[in-house]
């Protein structure tokens, strides 16, 4: 029997890929907490757990009419972001996959009522949540990326996650889940962004969004995932990244309303041009 041995909401903000000097320049001469947080996640969590597979819910892999799951045996190449080609350019990646688990997850997610397909096309593009986090976190394990369907509603994300969780339990794999994305996710207007690049959460897009995020961080710390799931209609008013589908799929795979794992932060709650960034790890 397979099992989920850990799960985390992990930020992939482009600033983590900048040089230390550039990060300090943007952040009033200080290091952002996301980078040392990722290093701690690697050394204190993943190096200890030694998972067979990491399943990453990638909020920049946009699909519309279906969910997709990367099923290649290996993904390798150089990645340059079309969004920020100055800061994320020619990043090397060499990531082994786990096709048998990817196809099983797609089948089970479809059986849970959400059209999902495993894709093993070698030309399938990569996206920077997977590239950025694998740069910091990759070990000997295999990686699978899961898309985000922008047409999906919370119940669709929960269905996909439930199917993924079932497939993992039916496998022989020890799996870590990473929901890669931010919480509230509104940017400042173009002419104001330069005044809001520091990490202090005072720069989050609005006080209301900041309070909504902090409320959910308290629920994470308590292990109250049911409250997060049940209040999604209210939280969507604050534009969480990818409609918070990355978190919902992860939570559903771990048990949904019944999941009680308490979160511990591996970073501060930080700003990135108006969006919220944080690493929260849930020990199973």
Q: How far, rounded to the nearest angstrom, does the alpha carbon of residue 108 sit from its chain's CA centroid?
A: 21
CA gap 78, 71 in Å, rounded: 19
Amino acid 160: pLDDT: 98
Nearest Cα to Cα of residue 205 among 280, 277, 128: 277
Domains of the chain in start order, with CATH, are 3-283 (3.40.830.10)
CA gap 245, 104 in Å, rounded: 20
Residues 6+ apart with CB under 8 A from 237: 212
Alpha helices (runs of H) in the chain, residue ranges in sequence order: 20-26, 34-40, 47-49, 99-111, 128-137, 154-170, 207-222, 225-230, 232-235, 245-253
Helix axes 99-111, 154-170, angle to 10 degrees: 130
Q: Which residues of 195-209 are buried (b: 16+ CB within 10 A; e: fewer)?
A: ebbbbebebbbeeeb
Q: What are phi and psi of 82, to 5 degrees?
A: -75, -20
Mean pLDDT, 10 residues at a time, the chain of 284 residues: 98 94 89 97 98 99 98 98 93 98 99 98 97 98 98 98 99 98 94 87 94 98 98 98 98 98 98 95 96
Amino acid 118: pLDDT: 99
Amino acid 126: pLDDT: 97
CA distances to 61, 72, 139, 280 from 142, rounded to whole Å, are 19, 11, 8, 22
Give pLDDT tens digits for 128-150. 999 999 999 999 999 999 999 99
Q: Residue 98 in contact with residue 55, Cβ under 8 Å?
A: no
Amino acid 26: pLDDT: 84
Q: Residue 267 in contact with residue 11, Cβ under 8 Å?
A: yes
């Amino acid at each position: 029997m397979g099992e989920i041995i850990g799960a985390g909401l992990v930020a992939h903000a482009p600033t983590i890929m900048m040089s230390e000097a550039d990060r300090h320049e943007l952040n009033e001469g200080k290091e952002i907490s996301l980078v040392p947080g990722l290093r701690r996640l690697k050394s204190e969590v993943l190096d200890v757990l030694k998972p067979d597979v990491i399943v990453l819910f990638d909020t920049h892999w946009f699909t519309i009419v279906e969910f997709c799951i990367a099923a290649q045996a290996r993904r390798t190449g150089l990645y340059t972001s079309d969004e920020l080609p100055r800061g994320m350019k020619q990043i090397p990646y060499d990531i082994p996959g786990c096709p048998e688990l990817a196809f099983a997850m797609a089948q089970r997610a479809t059986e849970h009522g959400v059209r999902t397909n495993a894709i093993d096309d070698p030309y399938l593009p990569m996206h920077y949540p997977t590239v950025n986090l694998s740069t910091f976190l990759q070990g000997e394990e295999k990686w699978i990326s899961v898309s985000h369907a922008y047409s999906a509603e919370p119940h669709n994300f929960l269905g996909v996650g439930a199917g993924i969780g079932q497939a993992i339990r039916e496998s022989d794999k020890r799996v870590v889940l990473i929901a890669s994305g931010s919480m509230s996710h509104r940017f400042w207007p173009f002419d104001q962004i330069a005044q809001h690049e520091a990490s202090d959460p005072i720069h989050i897009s609005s006080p209301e969004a900041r309070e909504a995020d902090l409320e959910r961080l308290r629920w994470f710390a308590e292990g109250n995932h049911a409250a997060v799931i049940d209040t999604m209609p209210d939280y969507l008013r604050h534009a969480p990244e990818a409609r918070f589908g990355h978190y919902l799929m992860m939570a559903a795979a771990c048990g949904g309303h019944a999941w009680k794992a308490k979160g511990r932060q591996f970073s501060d709650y930080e700003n990135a041009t108006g969006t919220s960034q944080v690493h929260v790890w849930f020990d199973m």
